[in-house]
Structure 1
């Protein structure tokens, strides 16, 4: 398995700490970049020559929400093929359908139990670390 460059777009500090704790506890060598909101993420993506291999996106964020961010991402010729996985608490079917319509790579609900969260994140990162990725 190769190590991934991951952009986590998450405004909740506790969720960021939880994600980082899982990556560390599993001894994964992934490089995680944190953006606390969509504006910060867009700035990061536009200012860096090296793009992440995977974006993990929360839907419920202030200003530009996850769906709006996805629309901006998919309308950008340089960024549109970046695998983006939704990592959210929203099980709203309308959100789910809209995300898939916009071309996401997956939609994961954040489980309440920490053990379940570890299991989901481990499987998610294992899958994307063996998946063929487009290099832009």
Structure 2
């Protein structure tokens, strides 16, 4: 079963959201390893370094972050031949049409608005977990 797990990198600067996602993973019995970066620069460093496995990676990406925001991160990720195939799902508070269009133009697998309540966080993480279980990825 471990060969079906994704190594998930959560790129999120809001500690409360990080806690909610960790709690939602626990409540939903989501056993995928979860790594956390506080901004796009940290995330690129982790993806390029040895902090997480190099296979079966999925990035959950916030857009509004300091130092390097999500769109800047996506541009850098897609420009890197080794990292460009990385699957990215945007999880953000931004409902701006330009952010959605730009994210999809940078080949994200999905764009989801952050839930307001913890119960909705749990539902969202459960839905993503079902998605991960169905996706075929090397």
Same fold (TM over 0.5): yes
The corresponding residue for 1:76 is 80
Mapped partners of 2:134, 2:110: distance in 1 = 15
2:19 corresponds to 1:17: yes
1:44-75 per-residue CA deviation (whole Å, 9 max, x = no partner) reads: 11112722521000000011110000000001
- Aligned partner of residue 9 in structure 2, secondary structure: strand
Report if aligned partners of 2:27, 2:122 keep a CA contact under 8 Å in 1: no
Detail structure 1 runs of 4+ shifted over 6 Å in the superposition. none
* RMSD across aligned positions (CA): 1.4
Q: 1:46 aligns with which of 40, 48, 53?
A: 48
Tell me if the contact between 1:56 and 1:86 (Cα under 8 Å) persists in the aligned partners: yes
Aligned length: 134
**Following TM superposition, by how much is the alpha carbon of 1:29 offset from its aligned partner in structure 2, in angstroms?**
1.1
TM-score w.r.t. structure 2 length?
A: 0.91
Q: Which deviates further from its counterpart, 1-10 or 59-68? A: 1-10
Q: How many Å apart are 1:109 and its aligned residue?
A: 0.2
Q: Deviations over 1:80-122 (max 9, x none)?
A: 1111000000000000000000100000001212222211111
Give the distance between the partners of 1:112 and 1:24, measured in 2 at CA: 18
Q: Structure 2, unaligned stretches of length 5 or more?
A: none
The 8 Å contact of residues 11 and 59 in structure 2, kept in 1 or not, is answered as yes
